[in-house]
């Protein structure tokens, strides 16, 4: 349905006019660098371009006091001395004669984006804006932020579109305390922020940035803070935060709209964040959010001060919004101890308010995390897997080496294939999904089927030929994903063949997920190359760490909250779909 890119050149006008080492990083080149790179990559051309408009006084008034709005309006006519004097009344703020215009455009861009998504003009989009918004408060500018763009968009979505549940994901490396204050007692806005915290020793040095700030009154449990107590958090830490904290709550909340405070100072190379996550991580974070709210994701730029990292991360986000598959992630795949502690303390603080956290055990993190490197486990995959041979493994790459080498793996030409034994002419498929015509060679199929009695029947054999052909297409990098049908009686044997075929055809590790019960588990070597996960199997079992079975939780309690039913199951398969 399309991706909107909302922008206006005028937003490059505001800039610092005097010497201030703290504020000088927030400069016009942030926008031009991001936009230039989007053009270079051909991404801008694939978006619906919308020119930003100014937010009205009434729209700004959704979250700001009239006195504050007129104070900012007056900066238009101030001289440099007066601008500097006024700026000093706030923390980490500079005003410029163009600030009011730019900040109204920034807020207006967010409103246009939300309108385009909620009226169905586009599926999702990004607003490239300056000044940023998430630190700004009802009557205060703060941390380079003048009007709270994302908060205004959320209030507008409630007021003008009648939405009842909005998720705000703040992946900027700073705590968006402005958003937190504006919605802390509001259960219709779930606000999630991770941020560099270092036990309170990092800007903005607030006690209420810690994990135990969970909202107030009706809004208890609708503020989710994940403080990072060390710098250097990487891809695995960010992914773990989404998978183990944000997504369980987000599925349970079931938002109608996702707003992203998309700051990219949380990426490697940024002087503010000092984190290690690579730009590709933002493709994965975006992809995980796209399973929510029917894919209605509106991202708005916040921070991001390393121009190269910023531009690359913006491209990753837009590319994913456009529906391209996420590039492989590099770096350690196990979260660090400090990240696990932070995630666990946020889970513990939120557990009283969320069923999805109560279903699981709330045991503390073991003091020494097992990094699971059993003997015989194959070495870590190259950053791209079999299809990405061009990307070289780097043990501890410096920031620049990540940036010099964007993913070299081209997107497969076919997005999704449906392999049915008999092509179905009545099937209506989206344009990027095709029905597979081809089959593996008959002799080859028979050779793979020979050891299995259940694959002797013609129907099972035809299905197997189709599946082998699909697997080859995926392993050769021509097809991104696919679905194949097989007769139920042949399911376990077909899976045995598919696993063997995958492992002998270049895949180093396979994740197999079975939903529901199979007549028998697959025939696996417990060598660490295959992780078998059976969801909805008979009973919980772990035959080895590579063979896990869990029944679906029985949810008999139709508890209502906000007058509606909160289903706790159904989230596990969705999570995995997001990962694959
Ligand atoms: C939007 C944003 C950071 C302010 C840092 C002040 N603000 N030291 O990233
Ligand atoms: Zn920031």
The DSSP-derived string for 361-419 is --PPPPSS------TTPPPPPPTTGGG-TTSPP-SS--HHHHHHS---PPPPSEEEEEE
CA distance 137 to 51: 26
The tokens describing 327, both together, are 């590039």
Chain position carrying tokens 């308010």: 353
The rounded average pLDDT for each run of 10 residues, N- to C-terminus, in the chain (580 residues) is 97 98 98 98 98 98 98 98 98 98 99 98 98 98 99 99 98 99 98 98 98 98 98 98 98 98 98 98 98 98 98 98 95 95 98 89 43 41 38 43 52 84 80 87 92 90 91 86 87 88 84 80 81 81 80 56 34 31
Query: What is the spatial distance between Cα 474 and Cα 385, in angstroms, rounded to a whole number?
Result: 12
484 by Cβ neighbours in 10 Å (0-12 / 13-18 / 19+) ranks as: buried
Tokens of 471: 């697997």
| Ligand 1 atom closest to residue 23's alpha carbon, by position in its atom list | 6
Which residue's CA is the closest to the ligand 1 atom numbered 5? 143
Nearest CA to ligand 1 atom 2: 303
Contact 109, 52 (CB under 8 A): yes
Q: Which of 166, 165, 225 is nearest to 194 (CA)?
A: 225
Task: Tell me the longest C-alpha to C-alpha distance in the chain.
Answer: 87
The ligand 1 atom nearest the CA atom of 134:
1
Is omega for the bond preceding 343 within 30 degrees of 0, making it cis? no
Tokens, residue 493: 């044997």
Q: Provide CB contacts within 8 A for 492, sequence distance 6+.
A: 454, 518, 519, 520, 521, 522
| Cα(564)–Cα(580) distance, integer angstroms | 31
Residue holding tokens 């598959």?
A: 325
pTM score of the predicted model:
0.82
Residues 6+ apart with CB under 8 A from 222: 183, 186, 187, 189, 190, 191, 214, 215, 353
**Smallest Cα–Cα separation from 226: which of 239, 143, 331, 468?**
239
Residue 372: left if φ>0, alpha if ψ -120 to 50, beta else—which one? Answer: left
Nearest CA to ligand 1 atom 4: 143
- From the CA of 302, which ligand is nearest? 1
The atom number, within ligand 1, closest to the CA of 203 reads: 8
Structure tokens belonging to residue 175:
């705590």
Q: Are 497 and 464 in contact (CB under 8 A)?
A: yes
**Closest by alpha carbon to 153, among 266, 303, 299?**
299
Residues in the chain: 580
- CB contact at 8 A, 234 and 562: no
pLDDT for position 394: 40
Residue minimizing CA distance to atom 1 of ligand 1? 303
Q: In terms of Cα–Cα distance, which of 172, 63, 156, 164 is closest to 116? A: 156
- Can you spell out the DSSP letters for 345-356? HHHHHHGGG-HH
Which residues does the annotation mark as catalytic? Answer: 135
User: Whose CA is closest to atom 9 on ligand 1?
Assistant: 303
Of 25, 31, 143, the one to substitute when testing ligand 1's pocket (max ligand atoms within 8 A of C-beta) is 143
Distances in whole angstroms, Cα of residue 283 to Cα of each of 159, 325, 375: 31, 8, 32
For residue 187 the two structure tokens come to 């259960």
Q: What is the pLDDT of residue 409?
A: 57
Residue 52 phi/psi, 5° resolution? -65, 145
DSSP for 502-562, please give it.
HHHTT-S-EEEEEES--SS------SSSEEEEEET-SS-EEEETTEEEEPPPP-----EET
How close is the Cα of 172 to the center of ligand 2, in Å? Answer: 5
- Residue 436's H or E segment, with its range, is none
Dist CA 463 CA 487 (whole Å): 8
Strand partners, 190: 167
The answer to whether the CB of 126 falls within 8 A of the CB of 289 is no
Give the number of the atom of ligand 1 that is nearest the alpha carbon of residue 305.
9
Q: Write out residues with Cβ below 6 Å of ligand 1.
A: 22, 92, 132, 135, 143-145, 172, 174, 203, 263, 265, 302-303
Q: Which ligand is nearest to the CA of 273?
A: 2
Q: C-alpha angle 182/135/175, rounded to 5°? A: 95
The pLDDT, as a whole number, for residue 519 is: 73
CA of 524 to the centre of ligand 1 (A): 51
Is the bond preceding 131 in cis, omega lying within 30 degrees of 0? yes
- Which of 25, 145, 306 best tests ligand 1's pocket when mutated (most atoms within 8 Å of CB)? 145
Residue 291 vs residues 280, 297, 328, 482, 498: alpha-carbon distances, Å: 18, 10, 19, 18, 27
CB 221 within 8 A of CB 354: yes
Q: What is the CA radius of gyration of the chain?
A: 25
Looking at residue 254, its pLDDT comes to: 98
3-state secondary structure of 157: helix
Q: What are the residues whose beta carbons fall under 8 Å from the beta carbon of 155, sequence distance 6 or more?
A: 62, 63, 182
Q: Which helix (H) or strand (E) holds 174?
A: none
Q: E strand or H helix at 196, and its extent?
A: strand 189-196
What is the C-alpha to C-alpha distance for residues 44 and 31, in angstroms, rounded to an integer?
13
| CA–CA separation, 266 and 317 (whole Å) | 14
Please name the residues in contact with 477: beta carbons below 8 A apart, sequence gap of 6 or more.
Answer: 386, 387, 409, 410, 412
CA dist., res. 307 & res. 314, Å (int): 10
- Sheet (strand 541-544) strand order: 510-515, 530-535, 547-550, 541-544
Confirm if 97 and 9 have CB atoms less than 8 A apart: no
């Amino acid at each position: 349905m399309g991706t909107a890119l909302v922008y206006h050149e005028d937003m490059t006008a505001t800039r610092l006019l005097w010497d201030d080492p703290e504020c000088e990083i927030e400069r016009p080149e942030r926008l031009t660098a991001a936009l230039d790179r989007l053009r270079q990559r051909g991404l801008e051309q694939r978006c619906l371009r919308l020119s930003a408009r100014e937010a009205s006084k009434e729209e700004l008034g959704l979250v700001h006091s009239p006195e504050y709005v007129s104070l900012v309006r007056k900066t238009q006519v101030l001289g440099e001395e007066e601008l500097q004097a006024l700026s000093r009344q706030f923390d980490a703020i500079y005003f410029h004669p163009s600030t009011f215009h730019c900040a109204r455009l920034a807020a207006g861009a967010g409103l246009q984006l939300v309108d385009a998504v909620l009226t169905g003009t586009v599926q999702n989009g990004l607003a490239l804006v300056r000044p940023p918004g998430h630190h700004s408060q009802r009557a205060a500018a703060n941390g380079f932020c003048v009007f709270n763009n994302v908060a205004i968009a959320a209030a507008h979505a409630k007021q003008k579109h009648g939405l009842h549940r909005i998720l705000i994901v703040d992946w900027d490396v700073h705590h968006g305390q402005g958003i937190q204050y504006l919605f802390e007692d509001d259960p219709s806005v779930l606000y999630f922020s991770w941020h560099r915290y270092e036990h309170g020793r990092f800007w903005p040095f607030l006690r209420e940035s810690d994990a135990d700030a969970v909202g107030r009154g009706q809004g208890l449990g609708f503020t989710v803070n994940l403080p990072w107590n060390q710098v250097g958090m990487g891809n695995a830490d960010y992914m773990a935060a989404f998978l183990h904290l944000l997504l369980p709550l987000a599925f349970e909340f079931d938002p109608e709209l996702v707003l992203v405070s998309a700051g990219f100072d949380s990426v490697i190379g940024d002087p503010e964040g000092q984190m290690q996550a690579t730009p590709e991580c933002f493709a994965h974070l975006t992809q995980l959010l796209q399973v929510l709210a029917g894919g209605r994701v509106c991202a708005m730029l916040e921070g991001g001060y390393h121009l190269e990292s910023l531009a690359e991360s913006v491209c990753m986000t837009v590319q994913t919004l456009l529906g391209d598959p996420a590039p492989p992630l590099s770096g350690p795949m196990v979260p660090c101890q400090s990240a696990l502690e932070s995630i666990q303390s946020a889970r513990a603080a939120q557990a009283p308010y969320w069923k999805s956290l109560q279903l699981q055990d709330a045991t503390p993190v073991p003091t020494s995390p097992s990094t699971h490197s059993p003997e015989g486990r194959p070495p870590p995959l190259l950053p791209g897997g079999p299809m990405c041979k061009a990307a070289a493994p780097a043990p501890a790459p410096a920031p620049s080496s990540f940036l010099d080498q964007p993913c070299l793996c081209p997107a497969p030409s076919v997005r999704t294939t449906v392999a049915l034994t008999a092509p179905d002419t009545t099937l209506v498929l989206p344009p990027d999904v095709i029905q597979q015509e081809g089959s593996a060679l008959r002799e080859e199929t028979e050779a793979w089927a020979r050891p299995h009695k259940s694959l002797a029947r013609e129907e099972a054999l035809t299905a197997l030929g189709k599946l082998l052909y699909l697997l080859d297409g995926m392993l050769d990098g021509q097809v991104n994903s696919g679905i194949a049908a097989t007769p139920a009686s042949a399911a376990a044997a077909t899976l045995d063949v598919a696993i063997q075929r995958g492992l002998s055809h270049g895949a180093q590790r396979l994740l197999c997920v079975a939903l529901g019960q199979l007549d028998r588990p697959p025939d696996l070597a417990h060598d660490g190359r295959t992780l078998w996960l059976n969801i909805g199997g008979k009973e919980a079992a772990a035959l080895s760490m590579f063979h896990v079975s869990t029944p679906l939780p029985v949810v008999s309690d139709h508890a209502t909250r906000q007058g509606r039913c909160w289903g706790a199951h159904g989230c596990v398969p969705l999570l995995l779909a997001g990962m694959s």
